[in-house]
Amino acid sequence: VIGVRTIDWVDGAVEIIDQTALPQQTTVLRLSTVDELVAAVQTLAVRGAPALGVAGALGVALAAGQHGQDEERLRHAVHLVETARPTAVNLARGAQRASARLADGPDAVLAEALAVRDEEIASSAAMAALGADLVTDLCGPEPRLLTHCNTGALACVVGGTALGVVAELHRRGGLGGVVASETRPLLQGARLTAWELGQLGIAYRVAVDGAGPFLMARGAVDAVILGADRICANGDVVNKVGTYAHALGAQRAGIPFLVVAPESTVDMSTPSGGAVEIEDRGADEVLAFRGTRTAPPGADAVNPAFDVTPHDLVTAIVTDRRVVRLDRGERL
Ligand code: MRU
């Protein structure tokens, strides 16, 4: 829904577009309690690093309204919000920013949370412009791009990170094509990115995750562009599982591998990817699809939701403030 915010504060509660129901249904969920917000984060009804940052901050605003002066319950509620998912640094960071204002009362907490929201909105526009300039510099006119997972408005508040760059290139009349990798097992690419590209009027094709490196090897892709859940001090990129394989494919094909994420995703206190807790979402997401078992009885699974792309595979990181050319030895 172009123009509708993925997450916002509306009349004393958090409202989100329910991303588990897309693309079949566009439903707005109203979250009035911390428990509802934590459940929405854990089921991926709201997801994507920048949106999780806003969810974390607004979750603390809910906690402040719910628990008022009861310090112990308040502290527990804030902890639940902060730790609802472990990998994207934005969630804990957003929650911590809002909770730093708890002593000043619920209005101050909410004001801080709304500042987190507004900063993410401003970041999207800045990344789109910087990223589109960089893609044009590196690839020339009409680049054919491959993107992974969902990095559009649904992952932010409006706009997007990598998908915001794709949209900006389209707006400038300079996009040669876009492939959205489907993003197993929850299909953020095939469901959400495809839906957003359709809403934006951008032609696209969906590919299975494993096709990416082959498409690059065949010369069908000029650059890979995607987002991040945490960027470490040494430039390692933690992002949706499958990212690393795409980075290897890009290196082998000799094409740029570009990461677009706001400064709020850069975590200088995490030295490298090895220090990051990677969420394992359990076997069911891999062995079944939307409640229908696809693997035989007795099958087990491993389900890391993210992976780590070493910094030496990354051509450049684009934030809302800078372009860091890792390929030229620049550092964060
Ligand atoms: O598990 P998800 O859907 O929250 O994972 C999201 C991603 O990995 C995105 O690529 C990342 O958050 C960047 S979003 C702008």
pLDDT tens digits, one per residue of 310-322: 999 999 999 999 9
* pLDDT value for 293: 96
CA distance 201 to 239: 26
Q: Which atom of ligand 1 approaches the CA of 261 most closely?
A: 15
Any atom of ligand 1 within 6 Å of the Cβ of 231:
no
* pLDDT value for 2: 59
* pLDDT value for 1: 54
Whole-number CA gyration radius for the chain? 19
Across the strands, what pairs with 304? 280
* pLDDT value for 69: 81
Q: What is the pLDDT of residues 278-309, one digit of tens each?
A: 999 999 999 998 889 999 999 999 999 999 99
Q: Which atom of ligand 1 approaches the CA of 160 most closely?
A: 15
Q: What is the pLDDT of residues 228-283, one digit of tens each?
A: 999 999 999 999 999 999 999 999 999 999 999 999 999 999 999 999 999 999 99
Q: CA angle 5-262-183, nearest 5°?
A: 70
Q: Which atom of ligand 1 approaches the CA of 47 most closely?
A: 4
Any atom of ligand 1 within 6 Å of the Cβ of 154:
no
CA of 32 to the centre of ligand 1 (A): 24
Residue with tokens 């030496």: 312
Any atom of ligand 1 within 6 Å of the Cβ of 229:
yes
Across the strands, what pairs with 232? 267
Q: With beta carbons less than 8 A apart as the criterion, state whether 42 and 82 touch.
A: no
236 carries an active-site annotation: no
- In the chain, which residues have pLDDT < 70? 1-3
